Structure 1
Amino acid sequence: MQDETNMQYNTDTEESDRDVLQEQKARLEQEIDKSKRIMVLQKKEMQYAREKYKQEMELRKKEMKTTHQNWIRQRPDRLVKQLDELQERIEEQSGQWNEFREYLEQWQSQVTERMEQLQEQTRIQQEQMEQMYGEIERRMEEQREWIQRQFEQMQGQTPIATATKEKPQEESERPQEEIVDEAEEEER
């Protein structure tokens, strides 16, 4: 009875350990998937911002071309002043574009670094899980061996086993069920 309780407890413990490990693995995979989705969305947002900025620059170039054509028709002194202002705006926007490009490069390097960190964390956690599984399997095997030894010792110490050793060869060849039935009748 005690052995059955121990075996049931060990089985329940093993199942509980497996369930916990499966839950941890599932949570880890969900976190990784979530991080990947966030990274993809951020990349798309940055790409969209970059495309929008390029479109605005193209539109401004067209406007400058149109403005330039209009300036040619205007008085030369006013044209020179407007050209100077336009040149200043172009230089300012070019500087902004360079800053934006640097920001994008920094962001990309951060994203790459974060992905590498996540991959390393995933690898480490998988190794830890494999070690835990190995440890659990080793303990389970030790428990099985211990239970088997206890069971064999108990079989050797029971009155039924002692009685069968003393009985003649013919009786010991009888099926185990008959011997158990006789032992129960003797106890009554």
Structure 2
Amino acid sequence: MGYGPGASLKLWTDFLPTSEISFVEYDADCAEKHRKSIEEKGRGKLYVGDQSNVTFLNRIIEDQGGRVFDVIIDDGGHTMEQQKTTMSHLWQLVAPGGIFVMEDLLTSYMPGYGGGPKGHPGTMIEMHKQMLDGLHCQFQDNCVPVLEGLLDMDCFSEACVMVKQPAA
């Protein structure tokens, strides 16, 4: 990364100056370098670990005490395993009416991240296509949503935003 590790953390804390932020960082040295911008300023929590590690994600969920979030942004590791694990485990923490942002979807086309050519099975892009199918096939008997409670999905270059249905 030409802009250096930790740039996302700085971006989000600057962009959302009054928000409480829980941040996951894979690189322990990077986390320590930026810890004060989160924890020492009382802005939230910084967790160090790999988002593809289900035990690690479950510890975060437990540490948050069943809390839900208005916004979750996956701007972490870019492998298919990391992105899919994050989506499948953290979607449950999105508040009704909240959003989940998945960035860096271009890695779905990069073999080094578990991606491949267009239509390559098991990529996040293919999962997002299935989410769209789930949104649009709701009146068919065999329609199975990929994400329970998905209300809307908007995709842009390299990112998609999923919106959870509001409370009844």
Q: Same fold (TM over 0.5)?
A: no
Larger helix percent: 1
Kindly indicate whether structure 1 or structure 2 has the higher relative contact order, using CA contacts under 8 Å at least 6 residues apart: 1
Larger strand percent: 2
| TM-score range relative to shorter protein | under 0.3
TM-score normalised according to structure 1 size:
0.16
